[in-house]
Structure 1
Amino acid sequence: MTFPGRAPSGAGASEAVPHEDAPPVAAPGSARAERAERVDDLLTAVARGDQVAFAALYDETAPMVHGTALRVLHDPDQAAEVTQEVLLEVWRTAGRFDPERGSALAWVATMAHRRAVDRVRAVQAQRDRDHRASARDYDRPFDEVAETVVQRAERDRVLNCLGSLSDLQRDAVTRAYYGGRTYREVAEDVAASLPTVKSRIRDGLLRLRTCLGMDR
């Protein structure tokens, strides 16, 4: 069959604009021409919502769609996903097919190629995003052993200096700066007045600064 308005073979046929990646034009009466006409008929029925026709169209075109996607993606799993996406799109958009621009086979093949290329671009874009995220999260290398030694040395110095405080000063400073308590909360914890606690913390910090050499 031919669609109304479709350019006939022979004179004037060159004016029709084929779909991108369209398969070679088949000679009238050949097996390829018969298949192309059969797919045209099926797609026309699918555009009317015929589910039986869609099942037949699926069987006719799925191998071609998968092969097209596989050539672009070089990944069988992704090619299978693209095949499902393309055939679902065929079901949803069959009514948009314009027979004047080429055969239904060419239309489906073009859709498969474009969807596969989009998948390649999407995968590359995700890799680029992951790379940028990794670069942002990457910390410059440290000599971890040296850093650990320094941290432990500093911790030991602080502990030693805390030992130089009075019991009341050490308790108040520890509650405030290691326990995350406010001055008022420390006062409530130790049942002391707020001015007394402030004085203990102030004096304790002064002694710590001196012990740690921070006044030099």
Structure 2
Amino acid sequence: METHTPGPAHLLFQSGENDTAAFAALYDLTSPQVFGMLTAQFPSEDDALQATTDAYITLWRQAPHFTFDFNVDHADELARDRTVVAWINSIAQQTGRYHRPDATTIGDVDRMRAIAARLGELEPLTEAQAVALTTVWLGGRTIDEAADELDVALPTLKSRLRDAAVRLTRHYLTEITGSTSAESDPLLATRVTGTLSASGGQTAAFSDDIDVDLHVGLGSELATLNALQALDDDDAVAVEAWINRQDRDVAAQLRARTALFQRMLTWAFRRVAAHPPAHLLDSVLEQLPEQNVGIGFIETVDEYEVEEDPDQQRRSRAMFIVVGAVLIIAVIVAVIFLNTGDQRIRSAVDNAQDRTSVSATMDGASVTGHFSNDEDVAYLSFSDVPELAEDERYQVWLFEEPGGSVVSVGTYTAQQLENGEVQFRGVTNYELLWITVEPETGSETPSSTALVEMSLQD
């Protein structure tokens, strides 16, 4: 009788249910590419082994919280597997990036150039594009670091990476659609370009500054660079905030493009593989922490600290940053349309002819919701907000319907609510707003009784 071998997606979800046997099988399937990527970045085997170990520990921590969260119906098992493997590789890339400061040696540009030269998948690119993409992705460099090492101007490198991502993704789609279709893998129908036209139309030129690039309308192009994980943390947050300010359909399209670009990267560099030593799996399994299944977010730094081992402390801090980076992606995917501190939203609501204000109390605090269906935006203002325990936060939720699907707007301290506003777009898509008290790292769904229930529709 023919048996079906579980694929990466199935094994990941089993791993998220504390199944170490499934996790070991997932490791066996994916570790050659993960270890190969990290061996390319770290010539020292010890560094590559440590980074690989930490990547899989991060994967284990995040497994309970993985979802296909970019509004694409993954109807086909192979499509789900592709997405999961790409996600695992993105974790490995981030892990390597944050290990670099503690590494003995780092793969230099000559090493990246040699790898790029032997990969047939990169043939559609110019040599400069292939080296730039390899340096950023396999080398774990930010665009600033890569520009310095490649001795090119930062705007030139941004353009080079953008063009490389678009060109190689089109090639990937041509190759992959020979064996599958957009019907079974809807992500393949995603538009590769945003403001760029199919013929390579002109856009504003990149500058040295991300904020300037956003101001002149290059947000879509920067989202491409962010999909390559080529931006430093501050710039990545700025680009993600820009994505959150877009209309719902535009934001969903950008999320899908990110997933598609990361699929392309996994495919393009899949031959950079190396089997890790047999003992590494046992070492990884011995170090697996308890999974936090109930909360879809990272634990506190304290849980990572091991005072008696300074080297382990440094690795743990790097892992914490990696998990945080993974969390940022997951949160931004789920927390759509959050736009904190944007005066345009407040002005749009206050000047709207259909402006509606609803007041409520929250354990002695006053909460006022200001809504405009015509403008499709809203904001909340607060006063006299009670302080919470140090390990607790207020979390704001939006329900499509009572008891239905829910998204998080964000988590806040009492001071943040008192001194600021909670703003969001897409108000007409939701019927109900809740505010609850959750752990400081937030929850995936409300885990406590609502302090505030506010209707968003008449």
Q: Do the structures match in fold with TM over 0.5?
A: no
Structure with max Cα Rg: 1
- Report the TM-score when normalising by structure 2: 0.18
Higher helix fraction: Structure 1 or Structure 2? 1
